[in-house]
Structure 1
Amino acid sequence: MEVYHSIAEIRDRLKKEGKTIGFVPTMGALHQGHLALVERAKSENELAVCSIFVNPTQFDKAEDLAKYPRTLDADLALLESVNCDFVFAPSAEEMYSALPQMKFDFGNLEHVMEGRFRKGHFNGVGIVVSKLFHIVQPDKAYFGLKDLQQVAVINRMIQDLSFPITLVPCPIIREDDGLAMSSRNRRLSPEARKLAPHIFRILNEAKLKLEAEEKPQNVLSHVEEAFAAIPEFELEYFEIVDFESLESLESKNPEGQNALCLAAYLDGVRLIDNLVF
């Protein structure tokens, strides 16, 4: 496995290989969910490339950026264990010699759910992912569906800007108790970690109610009451949306896929999850 910190060096090295590339962009603090993406990239391409970069332009709160775990040595060991071929781990100065002046506008996609509570977040995502696409020039890019809205935004960017890249959305990887794997989970106290699986339980209850033809407003009320019954949680949002457009649904979509999406604070840590059916 080769590790590069320079844009020019990783770009030149990959050009010399001349092989198909499966790319997994990450912010580090890797877990099994990330490794599953790398393994799939490895199985479907001649080379698997992973980037590790805590992107400052997608954080709307300075304290969240400061608290984000940085575990490069451990991350590299994990990537080597799944036979990743190349790792790109640049500094902020390498990626941004000057602050970006341009801005992305993803329309309605960036104004609902995550975008409603994290102003500028998807502009930062769009900028860094487009830069990484230009640097690595992958054939396929692999993203986990835990960040469902991010996948929709990246798909829009690929389509609108004609990137010659196939987006490969991958299923959420969960712990044995149902908690969606996330780098943020390691910030939970032991007590909070025991409570965290309630997120997936409540999502499943909401799914069953919607499948039983209950009105979305009744499902929303159930979710709000379920979280209110566990005072350690603070529910930020719960949305029932169309899987592709992310537009709110007034009733269950019988022909397409529905997505139940939420964000909640637990122990001061913001956790997101979703259930698609």
Structure 2
Amino acid sequence: MTELIHSIEKWQALRHTFHPHDSVGFVPTMGNLHQGHASLLSLAKVQNNISVLSIFVNPTQFNDPQDLQKYPRTLEDDLKMATALGIDYVICPHADELYPDDYHYQVHETTISHLLEGVSRPGHFTGMLTVVLKLLLLVKATRAYFGEKDYQQLQLVKGMVKAFFIETEIIACPTIRETTALAMSSRNRRLNEAERTLADCFAKGMLQCQSTDSLKDFLQQHNIPFDYVEIWQNRLLAAVQIGNIRLIDNVEIS
């Protein structure tokens, strides 16, 4: 039976009751779960004795207040997915409990966070790293699962865990795509029909193109505005703006 926990104090008391030899698998999310999240949760369930999901729409990683306001809150549906997958605990903390310091203490990374997404979204990675550090310290997971779709985020979390000697193994999980090849994202649900057609086109371009020039040409031909198209760590990464929705994707270069 999946147990929903809102109180951090209650979670900490419960965490102390776990057997030292129990492995704990953890998936941190902002909710509005889809099959990409389900793949992470399924792996956490299979590889560990105890599985934990967190749902927290983190205000500190949104540099656009409207984006935060529009982010879908679907707790009831998210709990149904967690229950169906047999997840043991779902933590939904309140912001004032997770930030008792009113965000005075922050995690700043000085190199990777200033590339790619960091250029267009100042402060985003500071907010992300700060909340992930808090959650990792609370859950004390054996393994934590992150999707490769947010590749820059994944590398930053790996680096933070190594830098601060956190005893949690970060498991990278492959991007899950829809039948149209579009990388699964909570933002996809906000696309209208015409925007969805462009988003699917963007995904096909990502898979077809193996260079920045070819992808830029592809996007320009299909009138898809892009923020960046770059190669980094043997990956082709891109961010596009479709209507009011920002989509990112990356593929490994063969």
TM range (shorter): over 0.9
SS at match of 1:54: coil
| Native 8 Å contact 1:173 1:181 kept in 2 | yes
Distance in 2 between residues matched to 1:158 and 1:69, nearest whole Å: 29
Distance in 2 (alpha carbons) for counterparts of 1:84 and 1:192: 34
How far does the alpha carbon of each residue in 1:139-178 deviate from its partner, in whole angstroms, 9 at most, with x for none?
1000000000000000010000000010000000000110
Q: TM-score, normalized by length of structure 1? A: 0.87
The reply on whether 1:272 has 2:248 as its aligned counterpart is yes
Q: Which amino acid aligns with 1:235?
A: F
Aligned partner of 2:91 in structure 1 is 88
* 1:116 Cα deviation from its structure 2 partner: 0.9
Q: Which of 227, 230, 236 is residue 227 of structure 2 equivalent to? A: 236
- Please, which runs of 5 or more residues in structure 2 have no aligned partner? none
Is the contact made by 1:189 and 1:267 (CA closer than 8 Å) also made in structure 2?
no
Q: For residue 72 of structure 1, what is the aligned residue in structure 2?
A: 75
SS of structure 2 residue aligned to 1:270: strand
Q: CA RMSD in A?
A: 1.1
Q: Tell me the distance in 2 between the aligned counterparts of 1:14 and 1:98.
A: 22
Please give the per-residue CA displacement for 1:189-242, whole angstroms capped at 9, x wherever unaligned.
0221122121222122322xxxxxxxxxxx3333222212223x2211111111
Corresponding residue for 2:3? 2
Aligned-pair distance for 1:105? 2.7
Query: Match of 1:268, as an amino acid?
Result: N
Q: Is the CA contact 2:182–2:204 (under 8 Å) kept in the aligned structure 1?
A: no
Task: Give the aligned partner of residue 218 of structure 2.
Answer: 226
Paired residue for 1:44? 47
Q: Percent of pairs identical after alignment?
A: 39
Unaligned 5+ residue runs, structure 1? Answer: 208-218, 243-257
Distance in 2, matches of 1:221 and 1:49, equals 42
Partner of 2:27: 24
Inter-partner Cα distance in structure 2 for 1:163 and 1:85: 23
Partner of 1:191: 194
Aligned partners of 2:235 and 2:251 also within 8 Å: yes
Report whether the alignment pairs 1:104 with 2:80: no
Deviation above 4 Å: which 4+ runs of structure 1? none
Following superposition, the deviation at residue 10 of structure 1 comes to: 1.2
TM-score when normalising by structure 2: 0.95
Report the Cα offset of residue 124 of structure 1: 0.4
Structure 1 residue 14: Cα displacement: 2.3
Is the 1:106–1:156 contact (alpha carbons within 8 Å) kept by the matching residues of 2?
Answer: no
Corresponding residue pairs, total: 250
Letter of the 1:16 counterpart = T
Once residues 147 and 54 of structure 2 are traced to their aligned partners in structure 1, the CA distance between those partners, rounded to angstroms, is 15
